[in-house]
Amino acid sequence: MVSNSIAVIAPTPAGDRLAQRLLDGLPNSGLWTKPRPDASPHAQTYEGPLSDLVATLWDQQDQLVFVLAVGAVVRLIAPFLTHKSQDPGIVVVDETGSLVLSLCGGHLGGADDLTRRIAALLGVSPVITSASAALDLPAVDTLGLPYGWRRGEGDWLAVAAAIAHQDPVSVTQTCGWALWQTVLPEGHPFQFVPSETAAAHLWISDRQPPPRSPQVCWHPRTLWVGVGCERGVSAALLESSIRQVLQSQGLAWEAIAGVASLDLKQDEQGLLELAQQWDWALHFFPAEQLAIQPVPNPSTVVADAVGTPSVAEAAAIAVGAVLIVEKQVFRDPSGACTVAIARAAQEYTPRPGKLYLIGTGPGALSQITPAAQAALADCDAIVGYQLYIDLIRPLLRPTQVIDARPITQEVQRAEAAIALAQRGLTVAVVSSGDCGIYGMAGLVLECLVAQGWDGQTPAVEVCPGITALQALAARVGAPLMHDFCAISLSDLLTPWPVIEQRLTAAAQADFVVALYNPRSRTRLQGIQTAVDIFRQARPKDTPVAIARSLYRDGETIHLTTLADIDVDQIDMLTVVLIGNQSTQRHGDRLVTPRGYGVRSSDT
Ligand code: SAH
């Protein structure tokens, strides 16, 4: 989901209090409430009837969230509703925050996505009643949005109804990413063998569809328009020329990715106007770069004038696309222009892409931060190790793309996630615990930097999680009250002598120490060496906690001492905590005194 502007409308004191919990997790949101002495300092206040406020916000905001009774909201918005392609998405939250409902504009208005996000922030189940959600199918009217496709003509209602009834829907896809097809559930109604007898048709192409009914069209933006023109040519001539070329070839206007031309045209008014109006990408090339493109119709006249024998054809090819329509010349009283069309193998997307680096905590869903849950709700794709994906499965939607690779393929996983984000998707990379503690966050950032990342695109947001040592500390009491450190015993990426040096230093410096990756099936000796190092530096009765599968099914926690550690109890799902010289055991609790000097009542 790309960030929209969201108005949270909470007239009552209880609603205002609840809304404040949401603002933090909803980028670009504002809160409106009634003027009151105790109104939230972040809120804007409104006087007069609520319907006046709704009238003002209706066209300004992408989504309206009402913390109000559903019936009141229905009456309020009824007079403003026009069409689902124009109306804002409407979400209703009850004042206690136990129910979040996508009321209107579920797909095009983004209300379903926002409802999921708010539900994640409040820790409740979203109420989403659209048919596609019930069938675990992508909604046909938002299908292409993650890929930057444009909606074409169509009877959207009829096709959506056919899908809802699970009638056969024939799909023709001639270009654009087929990723959406990979998440279709068993028994979905789409047929990928063209069929004229299907109940409805879905056309995904940069071409115009054949006339069929009911049918809807999505146009991946694969077409690059090469333009050459005389100075001062009008936007109207450029538009009518491009339209004529596309129409004569059966190509779709909505499939235009952008225009390409000579760098001298960077300030060509008509061209800029048109590009802005249609939100096209612009590519300008110097004459030398255009001159080397192989084109079918070079011209010596053009070469003499601007230093390259071709502008329109050469510029369209220079974008990295294949010429499919040779140049045509058009004139009107404002001047002359040439138009050529090339097709790129991959669609252009104006979406910048986003990477969330998410720590999902030790295991239980309750230990994942609401921010991380909201981020997961935003994502088009989730990348992670299978075990961690399985742990968060209830938070995922069937329409999200899942890339679950085996544990050893960290670099491939990071690169896969970056590649998805570079194509405009919002992507989560999940690690258990904290993503930045022996997790994927650092690797993803390193890979980005190695690829020359500008720090902006794709955007990166890190969502912290509860790491294993915190989870263990919480389960056994408060052993991290004084200085502590974490050491991983895995020598896959760190030479063992370095690990041993750190163990010795930590033991001597009297840190409480958490040992991550303590022992694998092939690394048996490391943990024994580590224990020996600590036995030399600390008393034999120093408390030790050995915890396996914390906050997961089959959790075990075993308290022992340095002298009695049984390394056979330890494996890769285990974290080991060794107390410092003053760590004390009280029953099944460990405490490392901070130094307040609290005495027992009987002394
Ligand atoms: N990013 C993770 C650590 C990954 S390294 C985090 O912040 O927790 C993997 C090691 O972490 C495991 O070998 C184990 O030592 C520890 N670990 C992770 N989750 C654990 C859990 N739920 N219970 C016990 N140990 C865990």
pLDDT one-digit tens code per residue, 534-576: 999 999 999 999 999 999 999 999 999 999 999 999 999 999 9
Distance CA 590, CA 514 (A): 14
Q: Where along the chain do the CATH 3.30.420.180 domains lie? A: 223-343
Q: Specify whether domain 145-219 bears CATH 3.30.70.
A: no
pLDDT of residue 1: 39
Ligand 1 closest atom vs CA 555:
23
- Beta-bridged to residue 285, according to DSSP, are 262
Per-residue pLDDT at 132 exceeds 80 = no
CA dihedral 233, 234, 236, 239 (to 10 degrees): 40
Per-residue pLDDT at 319 exceeds 50 = yes
- Here the tokens at position 444 are 């993803």
Going by CA atoms, what residue is nearest to atom 3 of ligand 1? 438
How large a percentage of the chain has pLDDT more than 90? 83
The CATH classification number of 469-591 equals 3.30.950.10
CA dihedral 204, 208, 214, 220 (to 10 degrees): 20
Per-residue pLDDT at 187 exceeds 50 = yes
Identify the residue with better confidence: 591 or 85: 591
Q: Which residue ranges have their beta carbon within 6 Å of ligand 1? A: 362-363, 431-434, 437-439, 467-468, 471, 516-518, 547-552, 572-575
Instruction: Look up the pTM and report it.
Output: 0.87
CA distances from 415 to 358, 411, 429, 434, 442 (A): 16, 6, 11, 20, 13
Q: Where along the chain do the CATH 3.40.50.11220 domains lie? A: 6-129
> Which of 573, 576, 578 for a ligand 1 pocket mutation test, highest count of atoms within 8 Å of Cβ?
573
How large a percentage of the chain has pLDDT more than 70? 99
Distance between alpha carbon 400 and the CA centroid of its chain, in Å? 10
Over range 567-593, report the average pLDDT: 96
> Which of 360, 476, 570, 575 for a ligand 1 pocket mutation test, highest count of atoms within 8 Å of Cβ?
575
pLDDT of residue 3: 52
From the list 234, 205, 203, the residue with the least C-alpha distance to 219 is: 205
Q: Specify whether domain 223-343 bears CATH 3.30.420.180.
A: yes
What confidence tens digit (pLDDT) does each residue in 94-127 have? 999 999 999 999 988 999 989 998 998 898 889 9
Going by CA atoms, what residue is nearest to atom 9 of ligand 1? 517
pLDDT of residue 29: 92
Cα 59-61-64 angle, rounded to 5 deg: 110
> Which of 435, 470, 574 for a ligand 1 pocket mutation test, highest count of atoms within 8 Å of Cβ?
574
Q: Where along the chain do the CATH 3.40.1390 domains lie? A: 145-219
The CATH classification number of 6-129 equals 3.40.50.11220
Q: Binning pLDDT at 50, 70 and 90, where does residue 603 land?
A: low
**DSSP type of residue 356:** E
Q: Binning pLDDT at 50, 70 and 90, where does residue 25 land?
A: confident
Per-residue pLDDT at 177 exceeds 60 = yes
The matching CATH number, chosen from 3.40.50.300, 3.40.50.720, 1.10.240.10, 3.40.1010.10, for 354-466 is 3.40.1010.10
